[in-house]
Chain A
């Protein structure tokens, strides 16, 4: 099937189309400018923070943005500041940067350990919690811990700034509730308070480098006698989006996390699971192990809150 010479001298119409589809890159210095670029784009624009999901998807041909808006040059995006006893973490703060911050590590070790489980050391040098959240994978590691911590995302958009609880950001795999022109500028972790502790565990078949097969984030508060007065239990990779399992939390509240309470917590988690069977795990496996992880995470959170193990 030899190609006739004449075909090599054709006009360049294909080239024009291809050139129009070429990607552009912008690195604005203000949130308004970034928001404007995103809002005015008529094709598909994507926010670039760490790029550890976006560039992978681009290479695989899964997304073909015509504009990347790099938010790392916007003032404040890399800041970690104390606020109202809690911590405001800029959307472009990387895993390794957060891991270096003693304040956040001390208050929210569960959130930090969850975030630090994403990828490799190299990925940690770039990935961000906001990016992990907005990628909206059911298995994103930082999300269950943030949900358990009751974290709040601050969003910049064409109509100004608004806050939104982290659990309301992902709506389905790959989709968020953000509107056109909106992007997250920071994540707020509330004041931990004394006698609070959190933990995150995930199941992967190796020791590193895997997507979570299932995961659990638990945050709880104890009173002086070691009784749990508040709890949030969140599960990952067992439903299209992260689950906040109230029944599991209620099973812990009012108890000192004895075996019966933990069993009830696990059972509530199992009942709430709605996973799929895929190349990483079966429905049965994810359900069983999510319950196991929730119990184990609860115990670690209890320890961190100053209770008995």
Chain B
């Protein structure tokens, strides 16, 4: 698809802030989330989980559990029919182990019973004979040859000999002559950075209700970012046709990438098939932390060379990620994004992935990018400080722009980084005075954004209202944005369009709601579907008037005769055309199916001020400004919301959030008490500045915005900390004990 979709125009609805269609249900408690569904005869499903980080399952005796009155099904991983292969088999094993428990909390058996109490009692009657094996839970422990092996046969191709068989993959991106580049630098800084695993922290635990009948067909309701993905994964695992499983996405209480795969859904289906009754499963908060998909932890080396007037001559990064007990590909976006904000002639980013005895990672808002860009932006900041240069000027000097060959390969089209940096420099936050123990930090950020499979159907109902059917769960207000785009194209009021998220039986495949793709892809498809409907309505009008189809135009919700016939007939409204559609050829439905491309990258720049108590290490965020390029902000409130939400997740990641494992390989903080996400009193207002540098790949210029916001805060806060306490920080989270130690060690 050529990047020539964008057409500049004046909008009537785009850019305004109407109320979202699901809003009233959500403020009154009517909205139905994953755990809010009930069916007659419904059973409760529960999972028995390994208390060991690594153990062979020698035997499981379920007889006592199965005999308990009220228990209707007991299953283990070996009850899956065997249809899953490759990555899907890995996902299945992560959901329910077959022969080996690979992390603390790994499910080994499941029960469905007539009440939660009976299910729990049944779990306690299951006897598992474990043979405990050695475990590793950190990159440092998993890396060297001789490290305990998490899984056999997973060593990646061409992995250097110095790494253990836990290394499952390698990647490399870049171009140019690094040695020559470093030779030209006046100052070279090399540092190593560590980040911990974090969790998306969605407030709604994973939940589903599976209903499989004796005919082998099934329905499922679940909270998910991608119900087509759920269908396809589960169908493969269950040995079913995809069309035999119909999945409906409930409202979703947060996902951030963590609900783009399955955890309990296949197990619920397995139990439902065995019991011939609906089975509801809801994860507890502890299970969510232990056994869903946290993000990768990282150990990153960055080396950057700069001339004394601030030009980067060479940049090199080695990222090492661990994402749990099965391979994952996050080193790819991690390495690709590391230097994406810069125009460099000599650059290299390499990635290595390691297995550990931890749950399989899932995406978390710009997967891989926060970790790698944190390291790069911290080194750029240190270089600027050492050379006595302004941090924004340094970035402006080296900023990626139109025509830059990116560090990961493609050449950039129109992008917004330089306007953002200039806007940041001109923003009052950047020059506001700072007090004692306060520091200011800055960071750029980036995300690719994606397109993907998209199917949309737009029906013109007889009374002139419009039903827009799409297949992407709404995690941030996208239904409103779709209605706005449809209404804009059709020239009718926003309130006349109802957008619904349909089940998997109602549309062709839709890629998961991730990659900041929905406003872009589904919006693109919506616009095209509306245009298709318009074309058809013009054809009907032409037929009604007995004129040529080409001689009809669509304006402000009306078909009008044009050209030689202008003025000959009264315009026909959408409602009028719809009312007689049965007489002019039948129902009018526009639709569009596409593998969307041309998503348009989104850059961001964050500025933050913090204050540190030098006697305790306590850190307060005083002020925070997010600047981001949205291409075109369809609904500015929701764009701001994404910027603010991403920033606050990044703040939590920088200051307090981490997975803490003990020597025994068990997760120590599997709850909101000790996994510390920001609370309302921790934060100031998050100011936002939206720039709009249109994306040539979308008719309105839309760029995805959902993910970029989490990328800059890690370095912005770290750089602020480094300035506040005059110690360069290189490990996250910068929790008070670490900060106080850094202050004291400096002396």
Contacts and interface: CB of A to CB of B under 8 A. Distances in A.
Contacts of B286: 60
Given A12-B69, A203-B616, A292-B615, A208 B737 contact: no
A224 interface: no
A282 B655 CA distance: 17
Interface in B561-598: none
Interface in B418-439: none
B63 A14 contact: no
A102 interface: no
A288 B740 contact: yes
Given A2-B79, A3-B74, A285-B737, A209 B66 contact: no
Contact of A209 (B67, B615, B679): B679
Contacts of A2: 79
B623 interface: no
A281 B68 contact: no
Nearest to B284: A59
Nearest to B671: A60
Interface in A258-309: 279-282, 284-285, 288-289, 292
A205 B125 contact: no
Given A12-B69, A203-B618, A208 B674 contact: no
A206 B66 contact: no
A210 interface: yes
B673 A210 contact: yes
A205 B676 contact: yes
Interface in B697-747: 735-737, 740-741, 744
A1 B76 contact: yes
B673 A7 contact: no
B740 A285 contact: yes
Contact of B673 (A3, A11, A211, A285): A211
A203 B78 CA distance: 49
A8 B669 contact: no
A206 B656 CA distance: 8
Nearest to A18: B121
A18 B62 CA distance: 17
Contact of A282 (B68, B676, B737): B737
Q: Which of A1, A12, A60, A208 has the most CB of B within 10 A?
A: A1
Interface in B631-682: 655-656, 660, 668-669, 672-674, 676, 678-679, 681-682
B679 A1 contact: no
A11 B660 CA distance: 44
Given A279-B669, A285-B736, A210 B676 contact: yes
A206 B678 contact: yes
Contacts of A15: 68-70
A10 interface: yes
Contacts of A7: 63, 66-67
Contact of A8 (B66, B616, B660, B676): B66
B67 A10 contact: yes
A289 B79 contact: no
B742 to A, nearest CB: 12
A213 B738 CA distance: 14
Interface string B66-97: 11111110101011000000000000000000
Q: Which of A3, A15, A279, A292 has the most CB of B within 10 A?
A: A3
B505 interface: no
A211 B674 CA distance: 8
B69 A208 contact: no
Closest 8 CB pairs of A and B: A10-B67, A285-B737, A207-B681, A7-B66, A292-B615, A12-B69, A3-B66, A14-B68
Interface of B: 60, 62-64, 66-72, 74, 76, 78-79, 118, 121, 125, 286, 615-618, 655-656, 660, 668-669, 672-674, 676, 678-679, 681-682, 735-737, 740-741, 744
Given A1-B62, A18-B121, A209-B672, 11 more contacts: A7-B66, A7-B67, A8-B72, A203-B736, A210-B673, A279-B660, A279-B669, A282-B737, A288-B615, A288-B740, A292-B616
11 contacts: A3-B74, A8-B71, A12-B69, A203-B618, A206-B682, A209-B673, A209-B676, A211-B673, A213-B736, A279-B668, A281-B737
